[in-house]
Structure 1
Amino acid sequence: MNVDPPAPASKAYKAYVLLILMMVYVFNLLDRQILSILAESIKHDLDISDSQIGFLLGTSFAVFYAVFGIPLGKAADVIDRTRLVSLGLAAWSVMTALSGAARSFGFLAICRMGVGVGEASASPAVYSLLCDYFPKHQRTTAIAIYTSGLFIGAGLGLALGGWVLSAWNAAYPDPNSAPLNMKAWQAAFVVVGCPGLILAVLVAALREPCRGALDGEKIDENPRPLHTVIMEALTMLPISGAIVLYKEAGGQALRTNLLIAGIAATLGYLVGHLTGDYLQWGVLAFGIYAVSTWTQKFRKVDRDGFHAIFRNTPLLLGFAGFAGCCFLTIGPLAWLAVYFQRTLGASPSDVGLTLGLSYACAGFSGITLGAILTDRLILRYGESVRLAFSAGAICCASAALVGCLLSEAASTAFFWTVPFNFFSAMWLAPAAANVSSQVPARIRATASAVYIVTQVFLGTALAPFFVGALSDQLALLGVGPGQAVQQSLLLSQIAVVPTIGCLLWSWRRMRA
């Protein structure tokens, strides 16, 4: 590993590193978010249901992002982080571009799973890199600049996807005359996927800083980094995970693990049989089992840390409340582009540009102002105020979404997306900070991993599928396609009640 001496990098080089890493996050969200603007075209060309669209928008990506995020986060602690991010970026860029070759739902689903695995490598390693490039008093600003790539990428994904759809259809009204007989949505995947390979080369060329040098810490290198990463990855897979758990925790833990596997498989099958969506619930059951295996191992190797997280009632209530915030945010984010096209008759280019600008500008403003306001409120009301503040923010976001969905004119509905995106971004910074404030410093990363897993499973994986599946059911009852999406999004907002309940309950427990 090529490691810099402890001397700090120049200001110019640190600014360059931050710019490159922010672009990584831009591509992370661009490749993830572009699917929402392409969903209507994909549904028509592949003849798939809204439930399947929901699976592509949520579960196929989210479960693999969460499951592989744990071992890849561990990898960032023991191997060259710049190379890890570079390889991950190259992998998800290739899988995005390969999505353009999809001719079936199955192939596209596999590509989305690959995107999830690749993107899981980025943020843990980047956060670690920024802490070794910037001193403590500059880290919050550096992380905020990096995080801004989230909103830029999501907005750019919508705008660029809509533009490619319109431009390609105008240039090649007959797909048989297009290069390689590509449809517009296939071209869009290729257009956004290929540039990531160039960025991956630039990331690989970044210097790997010395771990802990800016904090005066000397961190010994892991003598067997590859072995550590492989063992962590094997823990997340069904058969190998059981074997690793048996060696670490013994026969009793293995029996419990097999019982969990049986329950997860049975429930996945039964719910799949009832809904007809075996793939959705099978993948979700796999993810739950994988995370359960990791949790069992964590309990064995660090019992005090395990209890600090899983016997911390305010923290667990916060996890549930913020997962609800994620559900209320991700569902509309995934389906609003479809709603504007299918229900209000807006063009893909108009939807992409308007929604993209709304998300990029209002979302960035929301997360920035949310962080500033909560930091000031904490000085007066204490750290528990993050939970009450987030409850208020998500309530305002839900009200704005209802206003959007009840608007008859597209222009009015577009206007309502601005406050929705603004308020739905305000809870993000308080949520992340809430985790760190409630656990010992040595397990903050682990607690953050648990927080991300709950967000992904209860929010990112379920929300898009829930809206799509509900839309299909309403269509079977005779509701028109446009109204079905509208009513599904409205019904999804019922989740605001238990969400606010969990956040306020956590707030009261912290104040007690």
Structure 2
Amino acid sequence: MNSDQAAVGAPAKGDPNRNTVLLMLLVVYIFNFVDRQILSILAAPIQADLQLSDGEMGLLGGIAFALLYSTMAVPLAALADRTSRSWVITVSLAAWSGFTALCGLATNFWQIFLARLGVGIGEAGGVAPSYALIGDYFPSSQRATALSVYSLGIPIGSGLGVLVGGYIAATVDWRTAFFAVGLSGVIIAPIFKLLVRDKAKSAPLAVGVADTTAEVSIRPTLKETAAVLAHKPSFWLLSFGAATSSMLGYGIAFWLPSLLIRSFGYDLVQASQFFGALLLIGGVVGVMAGGLIADRLGGRDRAYFAWLPGIAFLLGAPLFAAGITSSDAQFAFLLFLLPQALAYVWLGPVLSAIQHLVVPAARSTASALFLLINNLIGLGGGIYALGAFSDLLQPIYGDEALRYSMLYALVLYVLAALLMALAGPFLRKDWVHEQG
């Protein structure tokens, strides 16, 4: 059995390859979010060209992507746990990039809908195995920080997708933007496989307090992993807390460029520069702060891996409201900057906590089960809900309907904070402690 097919054991603290692996995973994740987020900045020209409503655009940004992205992630993650995580990521990158390029050929709603389904299928195999590889290469005390570095792919990829997509769409057309980013990912795929390998097999790690009476195989099946997580309240509270916050987070991320165009009078390039800078500055700061603070506080009390995100959600809601209701675009940028950072704080702490609810050989599967809940509800529901709610409010608020749709949705952050507060105490007993 070669190293790519090996199961995973205790992470080697001084592994010389781990930074290269983390860098390449970050590059792939950047492409993941470039391909995912580019649709938001291209929404206006696509709607104009294909004559689509806000509701239809919400379907393209949400359920068309999230439906198979969420459901296919589970079997693909189980496959990665039992075969090769790096190979699954490589094939997935090539697949979603190819389907992104195909979006540029669409001439109607159903063609671009099917292409987005393909993007979702491809991206389903990228994230959960990446979480697991990071768990393999980095020790527990550094895992939230390492996962935060990886999660920088979200603001960087989203920001680049908005900036690059907006520039290409404004200077050429929206179809060329899809071609450019899609084909770039196809080129990166073989380079990734050349540099990234799975960790060598080792003995399984000790289980946590909640699992001391159970026998855990070196390669737990999907059913075994699901059964372990099903009995851990922290998993459900973290998953639904993250999903609730993601409904708002994905919704704002998708619809904010359209809000800037409709309510602030920005053109496509101005909207892409505003939102791209917001993502890159606020997002990068928030992601890294979340991981660093969680590793420090979580070492004292595991509950902080849930409490820290909850505090960030409570602080972010009123600040987002101030930005959404602002009438001055430049002032709105400053108002959006801090809550944009707070919106990303949860990534490192929660993703690290999910990794610690199972033995190492089950990390991809556990991550995929978390992502199934988070993305099916958050990504699949949030973007569509805000778009459909905007259509519903149109008779009342006219061109400002999207602004009020986003404003009313801020209650989701309060609910997410409550779920995270409840998750904290359960993490203390559900945590799986490692040997070595």
TM-score by length of 2: 0.84
Match of 1:181 in 2: none
Match runs of 1:199-348 below 5 Å: 199-206=188-195, 208-209=197-198, 211-212=200-201, 216-217=202-203, 301-302=223-224, 306=226, 308-348=228-268
Instruction: Describe the superposition over 1:168-215 as per-residue Cα deviations: whole angstroms up to 9, x where unpaired.
Output: 2xxxxxxxxxxxxxxx11121112111112112312433644533xxx
Q: Which moved more, 1:429-438 or 1:138-147?
A: 138-147
Match runs of 1:115-130 below 5 Å: 115-130=119-134
Match runs of 1:19-418 below 5 Å: 19-130=23-134, 142-168=146-172, 184-206=173-195, 208-209=197-198, 211-212=200-201, 216-217=202-203, 301-302=223-224, 306=226, 308-380=228-300, 382-418=301-337
Match among 343, 357, 378 for residue 459 of structure 1 = 378
Match of 2:216 in 1: none
Match of 1:489 in 2: 406
Q: Which moved more, 1:389-398 or 1:125-134?
A: 125-134
CA apart distance, 1:3: 4.5
Match of 1:176 in 2: none
Whole-angstrom CA distance in 1 between matches of 2:257 and 2:424: 35
Closer/same/farther in 2, CA of residues 106 and 29 from structure 1, 3 Å limit: same
Contact 2:131–2:363, Cα closer than 8 Å, also in 1: no
Instruction: Describe the superposition over 1:401-453 as per-residue Cα deviations: whole angstroms up to 9, x where unpaired.
Output: 11111110111112222112100011122222333445566655444332211
Contact 1:26–1:149, Cα closer than 8 Å, also in 2: yes
Match of 2:397 in 1: 479
Match of 1:423 in 2: 342
Larger radius of gyration: 1
Whole-angstrom CA distance in 2 between matches of 1:93 and 1:155: 18
Q: Which amino acid aligns with 2:411?
A: I
CA apart distance, 1:312: 3.1
CA apart distance, 1:155: 0.8
Aligned residues: 408
Q: Which amino acid aligns with 1:149?
A: G
CA apart distance, 1:511: 7.8
Q: Give the secondary-structure state (helix, strand or coil) at the position aligned to 2:130.
A: helix
Whole-angstrom CA distance in 2 between matches of 1:456 and 1:438: 19
Closer/same/farther in 2, CA of residues 307 and 196 from structure 1, 3 Å limit: closer
Q: Which amino acid aligns with 1:487?
A: Y
Q: Give the secondary-structure state (helix, strand or coil) at the position aligned to 2:273.
A: helix
Contact 2:33–2:154, Cα closer than 8 Å, also in 1: yes
Q: Note the residue ranges of structure 1 that are not aligned, 5 or more in a row.
A: 169-183, 219-296
CA apart distance, 1:94: 1.2
Contact 1:4–1:209, Cα closer than 8 Å, also in 2: yes
Match of 1:269 in 2: none
Q: Which moved more, 1:314-323 or 1:102-111?
A: 314-323
Whole-angstrom CA distance in 2 between matches of 1:122 and 1:135: 21
Contact 1:62–1:460, Cα closer than 8 Å, also in 2: yes
Contact 1:366–1:424, Cα closer than 8 Å, also in 2: yes
CA apart distance, 1:372: 1.9
CA apart distance, 1:164: 1.2
Contact 1:27–1:196, Cα closer than 8 Å, also in 2: yes
Q: Which amino acid aligns with 2:127?
A: S
Match of 1:241 in 2: none
Closer/same/farther in 2, CA of residues 322 and 19 from structure 1, 3 Å limit: closer
Whole-angstrom CA distance in 1 between matches of 2:275 and 2:19: 30
Contact 1:2–1:207, Cα closer than 8 Å, also in 2: no
Whole-angstrom CA distance in 2 between matches of 1:502 and 1:17: 33
- Richer in helix (by share): 1
CA root-mean-square deviation:
3.0
Question: Are 2:425 and 1:505 aligned?
Answer: no
CA apart distance, 1:142: 5.0
CA apart distance, 1:339: 0.5
CA apart distance, 1:12: 8.0
CA apart distance, 1:321: 1.9
Whole-angstrom CA distance in 2 between matches of 1:359 and 1:491: 22
Q: Which amino acid aligns with 1:502?
A: L
Contact 2:78–2:365, Cα closer than 8 Å, also in 1: no
Whole-angstrom CA distance in 2 between matches of 1:464 and 1:118: 20
CA apart distance, 1:135: 7.2
Whole-angstrom CA distance in 1 between matches of 2:305 and 2:128: 23
CA apart distance, 1:137: 7.6
Contact 2:286–2:340, Cα closer than 8 Å, also in 1: yes
Q: Give the secondary-structure state (helix, strand or coil) at the position aligned to 1:345.
A: coil
Q: Give the secondary-structure state (helix, strand or coil) at the position aligned to 1:461.
A: helix
Q: Give the secondary-structure state (helix, strand or coil) at the position aligned to 2:266.
A: coil
CA apart distance, 1:509: 5.9
Q: Which amino acid aligns with 2:403?
A: Q
Contact 1:391–1:504, Cα closer than 8 Å, also in 2: yes
Whole-angstrom CA distance in 1 between matches of 2:368 and 2:421: 23
TM-score by length of 1: 0.72
Whole-angstrom CA distance in 2 between matches of 1:394 and 1:455: 16
Q: Which moved more, 1:310-319 or 1:196-205?
A: 310-319
Closer/same/farther in 2, CA of residues 420 and 151 from structure 1, 3 Å limit: same
Q: Give the secondary-structure state (helix, strand or coil) at the position aligned to 1:372.
A: helix
Q: Which amino acid aligns with 1:385?
A: Y
Contact 1:82–1:206, Cα closer than 8 Å, also in 2: no
Q: Which amino acid aligns with 1:422?
A: A
Instruction: Describe the superposition over 1:439-494 as per-residue Cα deviations: whole angstroms up to 9, x where unpaired.
Output: 5666554443322111112211101000100111112x25323x011011111112
Q: Which moved more, 1:334-343 or 1:494-503?
A: 494-503
Q: Which amino acid aligns with 1:195?
A: S
Contact 2:309–2:346, Cα closer than 8 Å, also in 1: yes
Contact 1:132–1:211, Cα closer than 8 Å, also in 2: no
